[in-house]
Amino acid sequence: LASAAQSKPLPNFAAGDRVFHKAFGDGLIVSVKPMGGDALLEIAFDQKGTKRLMAKSAGQFMHKL
């Protein structure tokens, strides 16, 4: 399972993108900060407030709208 997650390409998220996350719902990406082979996403969710998520792990539960 871990190797399958690592082989997926990094989702192409950018500041200003609207996204849907399975746990947090609709949100707006405020910033994307590259970190090593990953990126830290700061996302302002409509119902859950602002969250900081790593792109590789969040990408499994989230897609662009």
- What is the CATH number that goes with domain 2-64? 2.40.10
Backbone φ, ψ for residue 45 (5° rounding):
-85, 140
Report, as ranges of residue numbers, the positions in the chain whose pLDDT lies below 70.
1-11
The whole-number pLDDT of residue 55 equals 94
Helices (H), the chain: 2-7, 55-58
In the predicted model, what is the mean pLDDT of the chain? 87
The whole-number pLDDT of residue 10 equals 53
Where exactly are the structural domains of the chain? 2-64
| pTM over cut 0.85 | no
The whole-number pLDDT of residue 12 equals 83
The whole-number pLDDT of residue 9 equals 53
The whole-number pLDDT of residue 7 equals 44
Burial of 37 per CB tally in 10 Å (0-12, 13-18, 19+): exposed
